[in-house]
Amino acid sequence: MKYQGKLANAYRINEGARFRLKDFDPGDTGDIASKEQAGLLLQERLVQLRDLQAKLYAQHCWAVLLIFQGMDTAGKDSVIKHVMSAVDPHGCEVYSFKEPSGEELNHDYLWRAVRRLPERRRIGIFNRSYYEEVLVVRIHPSLLKHEKIPDTLMERKIWEKRFEDICAFERHLVRNGIVIRKFFLHLSKKEQAKRFLERLNRPEKNWKLSPSDIHERKNWNQYMAAYEDMIQHTAVPSAPWFVVPADHKWFTRLVVASAIVDTLDEIHLAYPEIDIARRKDLNEIRKLLELEVGQVSS
């Protein structure tokens, strides 16, 4: 089964000035007819991803940074687990950003992200990221006090300034060979409630749920406004956002996998070419090995 066209393009935001979150349906499944069809297409994408990641590693020039943001239960862990199952673990690094440590709070908010950037030839995955600084910190501005920012720098336009800094940071990374793709897993409030109930009804998932998770639902509209503002200010062609429908996990995985494959295709990966001198060395190695094999077999 071959899917014609680039599925993820429908959800790619290259320039956010006109972006409106209300224009994207969390329950959308595009023209994918069923979960079964999506599963077949996903397997195709994973085969392509495996091949492209091997070339990325061998070429040893580019690095790829994938950023996942979304409300609780949006499926960030699930997407990472299923989509990146095709990737050689040696070429992939996943880091989940939790509440900042004391050491991290003694540095600027981008410091801890810089320490986790992927090396060349690797795919780095941020499960949440520095974007929390214009999301949860914006919804709960009291958290800014813990960052020890001088009072003279605490101005009303702090969020706009952070958008500028993030764009400059990402522009620097792109100019140095780190390809950035950002995914907002767009979940509906109703679907989140269903997933919370599922966690309650399954004892092995009870540990994932806390009272603070339910409390944050009261801020749903504020979070949606913050996400919209964030995408409007930080979506650019070189570091686009993908607003991925997240009410159906099988579709979310397909869109994310397609976006990653498309991205790796765009940078024209290939195995390194062997020059004449290197080819001569390899021929000498071949002769030695064939001679050794011949001696053993005799």
Beta carbons of 57 and 174 less than 8 angstroms apart: no
d(CA 143, CA 128): 17
Tokens at residue 7, please?
Answer: 């599925």
On the question of pLDDT at 125 being above 60, the answer is yes
pLDDT of 2 reads 42
Question: For 226-285, what is each residue's pLDDT tens digit?
Answer: 999 999 999 999 999 999 999 999 999 999 999 999 999 999 999 998 888 888 989 999
Strand 12-13 versus strand 178-186 pairing type: unpaired
On the question of pLDDT at 4 being above 90, the answer is no
Q: How many Cβ atoms sit within 10 Å of the Cβ of residue 185?
A: 25
Question: For 39-78, what is each residue's pLDDT tens digit?
Answer: 999 999 999 999 999 999 999 999 999 999 999 999 999 9
Burial 227-256 (b: 16+ CB within 10 A, else e): bbbbbbbbbbeebbbbbbbbbbbbbbbbbb
Q: Which amino acid is at 140?
A: H
User: Is pTM beyond 0.85 here?
Assistant: yes
Question: For 154-202, what is each residue's pLDDT tens digit?
Answer: 877 999 999 999 999 999 999 999 999 999 999 999 999 999 999 999 8
User: How does the average pLDDT of the chain come out, rounded?
Assistant: 93
